[in-house]
Amino acid sequence: MITDSSPVPLRASRRPLSFCRPVITPSKAANDNGKGARDRIDLRSALACFSQHGLGAAAAARSNAEAAHYVGDGAERSRWLSICRSFDAAMARNCEIALGLD
């Protein structure tokens, strides 16, 4: 057992000063596409769908998109596909292919 209570000396870093570069922060978020209000509406719709259907929200949105397609409501179909895409992009893409929206 060591009984000496003297502190251990610290060594200076051997890294060059060029290593200490300033950090540049971006002026806007990296995931900000600038779409604005429409994205907020889609996000609210997606959250409402999730709160109602839980983990089955993507499948429910796909079903709603298919139903809107068969009724002939293109705007609702697009809205539901957008909601589905926010949960599962591959499912939304497969739905578009199945509906012939390729």
Domain ranges of the chain: 35-98
What pTM was estimated for this model as a whole? 0.63
Q: What is the pLDDT of residue 13?
A: 59
Cα 59 to Cα 100: distance, rounded to the nearest angstrom: 18
pLDDT of residue 43: 86
Q: Would you say residue 7 has pLDDT above 70?
A: no
Question: Would you say residue 14 has pLDDT above 80?
Answer: no
pLDDT at 50: 94
Instruction: List, for residues 22-75, the tens digit of each pLDDT value.
Output: 566 666 665 555 555 566 778 889 999 999 999 999 999 999 999 999 999 999
Token readout for 71 is: 């009724």
Sequence-distant (6+) residues with CB within 8 A of 85 are 92, 93
